[in-house]
Amino acid sequence: MSNERRLRIPGWTGSGEMRPLRSPYSGEELAVVEQAGPDALDAAMAAAHQCFWGETSRTPGWRRRERLEKAAEIMEGEAEDLARQIAREGGKPITDARIEVTRAVNTVRLSAEEATCFGGETLPMDKAKGTEHRIAFTVREPIGVVVALSAFNHPVNLIAHQVAPALAAGNSCVVKPASQTPLSAIRMVEIFRESGFPEEAVIATPCPGAAAENLVTDERTKFLTFIGSDEVGWRLKAILNPGARFSLEHGGEAAVVLHESADLDRAVPALVKGAFYHAGQVCISVQRIYVAAPLRDELVRRLVEAADRLTVGDPTKDGTDVGPLISTSDQKRVNEWVREAEARGARVLLGGGTKPHQCHEVTVLADPPADAKVVSHEVFGPVVSILGRPRAEDAIAEVNRSRNPFQAAVFASDVDAAFRVARGINANAVVVNDHSAFRVDWMPFGGRENAGYGMGGVRYAVEEMSREKLIVLNLVP
């Protein structure tokens, strides 16, 4: 078959199960992708381990930088093809897919810069008598084999964030793509290889989630980077090879507080984008809006009108704002949560139902109970809830009920109020006068407490994926 995607694992000559990959919107078969079984995963780890000690850990920073710069050039040259692949297999609207590719190119370029910038520091050695004849300094070294378990919602840029910093630091990398979007990840791995990295330095291993646990428990794994649910992430951490380091990026029930001084002309377009971008399938998507009483009626009117103008449909067509959910089970789950909230007193202001092709209507709810799933759990769908709270202090308390403090936002023209709310919210990041899903690729990014562990963002990822060594010179004559 012309659409077969066979594994390219150095040292492995077996054959694995072939699984069809279908478009979440049209249902058409996009490819048949070979799956890595235990023997293929072992071969991938063996090749990556040998490559780390034999080559990548010894490759100078300038060469790593050149290879990553070349990868960015290749990506730029086929940006439209990558965007179309994202839209077809992941259901992200093509306009947003193009933006994702642009960001991914930037992520790889930022990683190229870091390849020659990260390093250690000198330590003063004259703080106590008898040590003044020594010189001490640290150097940063690559950590080893990085295992990257990725997610479907940003299939190009997430691979860029997990793999490019690993390569920049001098590691090798074994990538387990999201099962729903393996083609984008496979192409990214091919691009890194085409840019000059050895085949053994970056290996794609499409496989079921259960099989990927072999990578996590493998003693050759020195760093795990995982993007997905908190339930899976913490379970993987529990079985991770002892001594390996890790970063876990989970999701949250991102909240936005609208202070009574908020500018609705500024807030409403941002809230609509933050809530319904990629059908809400973003870990920091706007899910809960706590609005001051004086603004509530006007916010409801404007938000519903703006959301109702969004076009739900074919993600490969220009003009589509909201595409399908990634699976029929997710479509069913999201709708069940909406129905549950409605049964418990929430008012459906807009949408609330399913649509053909795995789509869900853009949905705006008013006042669901605090323990309804659309409030207390990550929806990961095109659903936003408006909740009135008379005082900012009450809104902060409600925001902080979340068990997944990741990223939040506040809209306020009153600077003092904006800072009070931002300081009061329990989250790793609070965005002022923009939606909670705002991110640029060089900023620190990650959840706290149950929402994750470790920090993403290119420079921070390079630091996570390297380790510090102290060297002390005794210069006593």
Give me the active site residues, please: 249, 283
Distances (CA, A) of 441 to 105, 107, 132, 151, 202: 10, 6, 43, 17, 21
Distance of alpha carbon 227 from alpha carbon 154, whole angstroms: 11
Count of positions (residues) in the chain: 477
Dihedral sign of CA atoms 457, 458, 464, 469 in order: negative
DSSP state letters, 409-474 = EEE-S-HHHHHHHHHHS-SSEEEESS-TT---TTS-B---GGGEES-BSHHHHHHHTEEEEEEEEE
* 288-291 and 145-149 strand pairing: unpaired
Distance of alpha carbon 357 from alpha carbon 74, whole angstroms: 33
Distances (CA, A) of 37 to 11, 122, 210, 447: 14, 47, 10, 32
Distance of alpha carbon 366 from alpha carbon 384, whole angstroms: 9
Type of residue found at 88: R
- Rounded-to-10 torsion of CA 301, 302, 305, 309: -170
Burial classification of residue 99, based on how many CB atoms lie within 10 Å of its CB (0-12 exposed, 13-18 middle, 19 or more buried):
middle
- Rounded-to-10 torsion of CA 213, 215, 217, 218: 150
Please, are residues 367 and 339 in contact by the beta-carbon 8 Å criterion? no
**Under DSSP, is residue 373 helix (H, G, I), strand (E, B) or coil?**
helix
Distance of alpha carbon 276 from alpha carbon 114, whole angstroms: 33
Please, are residues 316 and 366 in contact by the beta-carbon 8 Å criterion? no
CA-closest candidate to residue 71, choices 197, 159, 202 = 197
CB atoms within 10 A of CB 102: 15
